[in-house]
Structure 1
Amino acid sequence: MLLVAAVVVVLVWLLSRLSIVTIPLVLALIFAAAFEPWMRWSARRRLRPAAGAALALVFLLAVIVGSLLFVVGSVSQEWSKLAIKAHEGLERILGWLQTLPFSLDMRQLNDLGEQISSFVTSAEFGSGALDGIGAITEIATCVGMMAIILFFILKDGPQMWEFLVRPLEGAAYDRAERIRRKTVNVFGGYISSTAAAALFDAVGVFIGLLILQVPLSVPLAILTFLLAFIPIVGAVTAGAVAALVALVSNGPLNAALVVLVVIVVNQVESNVLKPILMGKTVSLHALVVLVVIAGGTAVGGIVGALIAVPLTAAAWGVVQVWDGDELAARWARRKARLPGRTTASGMGRPGLASGLFPISRRHRRRL
């Protein structure tokens, strides 16, 4: 699986070289797999493919653009209040440092506090913070191209696929069909299950922030939902942002409670909800997920982190159906392990290790 992950990281690097086309194409393929049930339902209702594709596209763009605009707009409105509270909190910390038993250079601390306060209340820090919080809007750089590609894939996807597999016959055609079904299943299952888990995270964090009276609870919940599409790392980042807002606005105890709420919600989501939702659709080890996210981020930024995990899951899924619906490629198949002891004389000899080919006691004595 780590080998497959390495191949995917290289693939993401290659895709990033032509990101203006390839990244929107990959995103469109992932979203098209998620919308396949909708397209089948609309076809059964005799809705034209173009109309079904247009409705799916409008829904997706409305969710992405609306969420990002709401988060950035809400933060910009509350930023002045948060800056004032950050200044007050910094003064409390400096006052607490003066009560410590060991001596500190208070002149340097005061100078540092004034510099930090002036920077926090400055327009440059506000714009920089908004840029950091809105880093996920990098996806918007390729939304236009992705929307066009997604529309045509949803509208003419079956015809495009039939054109691609025309040269294939027999076993090669069957393998291509298995790969198509498995890839669509993995992409669709990943998007739907991740969206459901992200919604659970957002609702849980929102309820916790509301009870603890943390400002910006709605934007922070939406930010949690968006970042949850980046496994493991996204939840940590969203929790850190929520704890920082609670620390600035309500103090360290409130921030500690926010961290506790985020940990509880994430544990329930990762250990209970996500295994039920994903099942065997995305069967990747946590180590593989971490390595893939790190590699995807290094070569493709936030978009690379978003697409690295589903690409890895799809690549591993292809390996699992390479020789049949339930038959993986030969090198990736599980090896038979039967109970038995391996003798020193049998090490390295075919048929003597692990009791795969048991021999009689008389032959063992001869050996």
Structure 2
Amino acid sequence: MPTSPEEQTRSEATRAPTPLLPRHIRMRPHARLLRTVSLVAVLLIILSFLIGTSALLLNRSHIGGAPQPTLPVPTMTLSRCASQPMPVLVDLCIHHQLKDILQWGRIGKYIFTLERTYLDMNQLVVEYRVLSQSSGQQILADAIISVTSQGQTFEQIGENGGETGPQASLFNPPPVPKDTQPLQIHAIVSAIRPLPGRPGSSPPPIEHGLITFDFTLAYHGGLVVTPHQTVTANGASITLERVAISPSETIIDGTTKGSLSGGSDTTFSLDAAGRNSGPAASTFGGDGQPFSLVFYDALSGQHGTWTLQISEPNTSESWVFHFRVP
């Protein structure tokens, strides 16, 4: 049915207006191009700034807020086997039993170089040298080192070395299960302690810092003999309890009972199946105290009958032990 002109006019008046297109669709093409070019330019400026900053950081270090040239990487070489601080380490080095590490780091004015390491049943040996950054020459210094492996801590028991060869830091190892070989070693150097250059002079100040080393190390084991022998002389008894023989050292443990002087004049001699040796260290105190004798000679290959003799001054009596090492 045809509509009247009045009805058609009312229908057009009430019809909803057509919505406008979104702003970005209605943008002119040249405006979109201008915005894109501007964005790319900003990104290029930011990228250039980041590249320049990175190059500056890689080529300079900041000391006291002022840019300084990066220190050169020192040239490191291993010490000769003949320069080892202990005769037994010379032998182990010649027979390639020491592990070469040759890693380094800086603490204060010094360069710490970890040269070689070794581990057996009786001790962990960490060999290092300390160099002056200014002269490049080796200095006599001790390093404060802590060592752990698989959650166990190695107890530091001594230092051995001189000015010309490497320094050896010695550690008492915890029990090492056979199924954890080789061991993962984590070593931390926290300070360098320079020693006096001449008698009576004051040492330079200690330099503190942090260097970490991570490496694997073979475990060379050893042999334990338990004689449990007791010898009595002059009313005093000495019992030989345990002999721990490893490639780097031999440790003899025992106990005493009765009156013994235990002074520095007490002498010890060991015949290890035909090889004579004297202890490098002793904790023989007498008067019912336990004791340990440490021999640094390489005795792990001496199989057969061993004889240990302990003698005290001002007496003709001695305590003599014979035991067999398989």
Asked if TM exceeds 0.5, the reply is no
When Rg is computed on C-alpha atoms for both structures, the one with the higher figure is: 2
TM-score normalised per structure 2? 0.18
Q: Which has the higher strand share?
A: 2
Q: Could you say which structure has the greater relative contact order, defined with CA pairs below 8 angstroms and 6 or more residues apart? A: 1
